[in-house]
Amino acid sequence: MNDLMHFDPNSVANSNNNIFGLPTSEESARLVILPIPWEVTVSYRAGTARAPDHILNASLQVDLYDPDYKDAWKEGIYMLETNKKILTKSDYLRKEAELYINYISQGEAVEDNKFMTKSLKEVNEGSVFLNDWVYQQTKKLFEKDKLVALLGGDHSTPFGFYKAIADKYESFGILQIDAHCDLRKSFEGFDYSHASIMYNALEQLPQLTKLIQMGARDYCEEELAYIQESKGRVVCYFDKEIKESMMEGVTWKQIVDTIIGQLPQNIYISFDIDGLNPKLCPKTGTPVQGGFEADQVFYMFRKIHEAGKKIIGFDLVEVGVSQSEWDENVAARVLFKMCSLLITSQGG
């Protein structure tokens, strides 16, 4: 239990404390956030590897009162220190990946270039290493009876977390908020690309019985075919369909009720920040026009909780960094809302 006797939630946040200015230790926290500074396979703009530390700084500006989940923070939220070795490995492999992506984008054959063949091999081996590292870290936290959240980093980062979730739960669903479907197979030759995270999860984790996607507005024919051939295991509420339904008089509440009706009892939320309108996340890796307002997503979270669903974990990924720290401030508030939801859905 956290000792809050001398903590004033109405005062300025103490930068010597942990995330959101909370005087919490890892031992006393009910929820532990695992930051993953990794962006090796990003296809367009980099920067998300350093987002966790920027979000930590921005979190000191977040007020702790939340009318949806009052006092959930009192259960204890703690963010682990960013692993510098993982960041260094990401920086090195990112340079390798950039050279490789530039090479293949010019139509060159990888097998004709020994250096590029080596780079591709190193990136794929690095991704396997990262997946195992995240898996082991998450397992250790579960063994300590902690709730766990992951803060990326690109969208490839939570795969090891999914594996740990699959060890703990016989069946679960993922609610994916994203501008993209992430159902590509080995995108650009990278086996664990950010654009392949859901494909890999579905193919390797039979415990994942349902994937509900919402907000997708940039996808390929291969991904659409995968959804259509999934026999209902994957259901996507495309951004275009949602917007047109609302233009024709369907309310957001009706759409939310329909989506919640598809969700199983145990839900993991995967929130790619580019699922929001890019005015809220202009520095994300692959911004796409359209998307949700934050209030729409927060409304859905509240309705999921009211429906009695159990949130079993979440990730927040693809946050960009900027001099203005706008993206980081939006992400800090999304993170706080998701932390509160996770704690409250467990009976906190």
pLDDT for the residue 347: 64
> Taking residues 114-142, what's their average pLDDT?
96
314/270 Cα distance (integer angstroms)? 6
Concatenated DSSP letters of 12-40:
PPPTTSSGGG----TTT-SEEEEEE---T
> Taking residues 257-285, what's their average pLDDT?
97
Quote the pTM value: 0.96
Domains recognised in the chain with CATH numbers: 19-345 (3.40.800.10)
pLDDT tens digit sequence for 72-113:
999 999 999 999 999 999 999 999 999 999 898 888 888 889
Is the separation of the CB atoms in 123 and 100 below 8 Å?
yes
126/49 Cα distance (integer angstroms)? 15
275/288 Cα distance (integer angstroms)? 8
Higher pLDDT, 142 or 6: 142
In the three-class reduction of DSSP (H, G, I as helix; E, B as strand; rest coil), residue 69 is classed as coil
The single residue listed with the structure tokens 């006092």 is 71
pLDDT for the residue 348: 46
Three-state SS string over 239-265 comes to HHHHHHHHHCCCCHHHHHHHHHHHCCC
pLDDT tens digit sequence for 165-194:
999 999 999 999 999 999 999 888 899 999
158/243 Cα distance (integer angstroms)? 29
> Taking residues 22-41, what's their average pLDDT?
97
pLDDT level of residue 346 (50, 70, 90 thresholds): confident
| b/e burial code for range 308-347 (CB count within 10 A of at least 16 → b) | ebbbbbbbbbbbbbeeebbbbbbbbbbbbbbbbbbbbbee
28/333 Cα distance (integer angstroms)? 22
Residue 286 has pLDDT above 70, yes or no: yes
Tokens of 49: 């590897």
Report helix, strand and coil shares of the chain as percent, to nearest 5. 45, 15, 40
118/141 Cα distance (integer angstroms)? 35
